[in-house]
Amino acid sequence: MKQRKAGEKADLTRDAILDAAILLADAEGLEALTMRELGRRLGVEAMSIYHYFSSKQALVDSLVDLVWSDITLEPDADWRTAVRRTARSAFVTLLQHPWVNRVRASSGGPARIAYVDAALGHLRRSGFSPQQAFHAHHVIEAYIQGYVLQAIEFSSDDPEAERAQLDGALTAFRDAGVPYLLEHITLHAANQGSGFDFGLDLLLDGLEARRA
């Protein structure tokens, strides 16, 4: 952090606060985000931040919307391509900021609103009725959020420990008379990667049948 001389004012801006806050939340979780800690990292008193954000909740809402602004929207594509690209972008973006999944539903900022409207537009312009689009949107959203939470749950900062755990499971179940579970764990050990696209295509196939 740059050291300022006595009496020198901090170069504090709304964007600087948001940048520091999102770095803190990404690294240590939302519970670590306090006005005091944020002020310490910015080299200012916590009260200075309240000049830009009236409360911590106002700051968190702005952070959530900042994350949603990173999601790619697809205005000019066939509906399946548009939904797939937007959903995948949402999955990747939310996975990069795990804390957002705890608060994102409470935020109604401009970026979040634009995302929802674009997602519904993909469906409505392709011929889905308002009722079909209503349910389809919620199913897709639930799939994205569920897969993000699962990916976070299965992620590990220690690949060697994760590998040892899988090897232990393989040993434990090898003679347990559960061949399909053993097969499943073996595929985990072989690192099959994310099945997000596979599941998303299943959803889109089902929606296509309903649209037809």
* pLDDT tens-place string over residues 167-210: 777 888 887 888 888 888 777 777 666 789 999 999 999 999 98
Q: What is the pLDDT of residue 9?
A: 42
Q: Which residues contact 187 (CB under 8 A, 6 or more apart)?
A: none
According to CATH, the topology of domain 14-53 is: Arc Repressor Mutant, subunit A (1.10.10)
Q: In this structure, which topology does domain 68-211 adopt according to CATH?
A: Tetracycline Repressor; domain 2 (1.10.357)
Burial 92-115 (b: 16+ CB within 10 A, else e): ebbbebbbbbeebeebebebbeeb
Global pTM? 0.81
In angstroms, the Cα distances linking 167 to 159, 160, 179, 184, 185 are: 12, 10, 16, 13, 9
pLDDT range class, residue 116, cuts 50, 70, 90: very high
* CA pair distance 185, 141, nearest whole angstrom: 28
Q: Rounded to an integer, what distance in angstroms lies between the CA atom of residue 124 and that of residue 119?
A: 9
Q: Which residue has the tokens 């011929």?
A: 127
| Cβ pair 47, 12 in contact under 8 A | no
Please state the domain extents for the chain. Answer: 14-53, 68-211
Q: Sorting pLDDT into bands at 50, 70 and 90, what band is 212?
A: low
